[in-house]
Structure 1
């Protein structure tokens, strides 16, 4: 089924200094499918999402959000529509109370205090931190501060949510919680984009993957299609998810993205 594009990227190029292109004429669209942008450090991923968020302006080309060129919008205007969780929560958090931190974004985009508090409390509950609402975020561990940063963007209720390395410092429980958050956002019709190095998390959570290397897109497809292309992944210095690698080394031609998929396949074979 065709998806309606939320963001249209056309002939997008970017350079920090003349003659050194970080991104080179990118053309693609982003829709409601949860999408992981993957590649090694220096591939251009962070620059790309900063352009999508309006924190940088293209050297050439355009980015349209629901038919409007975002270069004509201020960062403040765009904040109502596109939210971004930074890789390091310390770059985002600056309040001395968790609830105040999570309410800050909603208040800045024009929510009244009652609604902002309601959204903040809902978001903190979603990430499992409601009981820490009155704590100082700087007294929390890195994993909890990351969840506070995620909650602060969820509370803004934006159409697009960009997550920069969402699993950083997270244990198994934290990763599962973030997966649940992403799936809920997807079910609500929101567009979730991530840049991430955790291929197992991508395989289990995201519908689409875009591989970026040297400022260009090597492949763009469903997560299964992308992780089937070992040769292209090697070009980008990426590996398949652990389950995928293991099953290939055992001689299976099928692409398994998760342990559950492989177990389900084996059960069906036993039934047959």
Structure 2
């Protein structure tokens, strides 16, 4: 299901204009990361996708729907949104009840809903916590509950706002696997992240925002080579990319394995690096 954003402007009641004419297209099945410093307009942009925020000017379309013509409840059939702060999303007395709220409200029958909850909790590594009160768990676990709640809704589009917040390495790898699984299912993933290493390892396309505008949009390797756009957005390239450039390499290693492979090539070619 395609996402189309045209001439999107959003001004809050306070008078602050958070988006200044954003154009963006996301094809079905893409994985797109949106990066930029706080206040760049990232969250305002993605909250238009499920109707939480409405355009001041311009249009947002989810498939053949204009978001201004649909309620949040209707858009929830197409867009699942994971909040940056899981405590804004979690409300039930048990993990399973919380995760099952979305499927129930989307009209899943009992068998499908139970299966969706079970599969989602298994995916986030919390199947053993199904009957626990969510607020008895850690922040990182609550974040994964929020992710599970959206996974269980089985929407064609999934929006993740800072999915790696509070996660240790195992948690980050788990979320990376979830992103990969969603893409393998043909679903679309849009993520806001400040974790540039997670970004380049898991997202093919990167959108850079600054001051309510898109400053760069393209393949991750190309975007992270756009020094002017990154400086405007106060974004540092991923650490392995910074090391590669400091060593004078021309390649763009996206993960540790690629870095090691390129190091071996450099040594094999007789480079001092």
TM range (shorter): over 0.9
Deviation of 1:251 (Å): 1.3
> Aligned partners of 2:21 and 2:14: how far apart in 1?
15
Deviation of 1:266 (Å): 3.3
TM-score (norm 2): 0.95
Question: Is the deviation greater in 132-141 or in 257-266?
Answer: 257-266
> Aligned partners of 2:176 and 2:227: how far apart in 1?
25
Question: Is the deviation greater in 41-50 or in 16-25?
Answer: 16-25
Equivalence map 1:94-133=2 (5 Å): 94-133=91-130
Residues 5-59 of structure 1, C-alpha deviations (whole Å, 9 max, x = no match): 7111111111003753210111120122110010000000111011112101100
* Partner residue in 2 for 1:13: 9
Q: Does 1:53 align with 2:41?
A: no
* Partner residue in 1 for 2:247: 250
Residues 103-126 of structure 1, C-alpha deviations (whole Å, 9 max, x = no match): 000001111122111100000001
3-state DSSP class of the match of 1:145?
A: helix
> Aligned partners of 2:15 and 2:90: how far apart in 1?
35
* Partner residue in 2 for 1:144: 141
3-state DSSP class of the match of 2:48?
A: helix
Work out whether residues 48 and 67 of structure 2, in 8 Å CA contact, stay in contact via their aligned partners in 1.
no
Equivalence map 1:1-272=2 (5 Å): 6-17=2-13, 20-31=16-27, 32-268=29-265
Change (3 A) 1:250 1:76: same
Deviation of 1:65 (Å): 1.1
3-state DSSP class of the match of 1:37?
A: strand
Work out whether residues 5 and 60 of structure 2, in 8 Å CA contact, stay in contact via their aligned partners in 1.
yes
3-state DSSP class of the match of 1:193?
A: strand
Question: Is the deviation greater in 259-268 or in 51-60?
Answer: 259-268
Deviation of 1:257 (Å): 2.1
Residues 170-189 of structure 1, C-alpha deviations (whole Å, 9 max, x = no match): 00000000000000000101
Residues 129-160 of structure 1, C-alpha deviations (whole Å, 9 max, x = no match): 11111111110011111111100000000000
Where in structure 1 do 4 or more consecutive aligned residues deviate above 6 Å? none
- For these two proteins, the number of residue pairs brought into alignment is 268
Change (3 A) 1:18 1:176: closer
Q: Which structure 1 residue ranges, 5 or more long, are not aligned?
A: none
Deviation of 1:253 (Å): 2.1
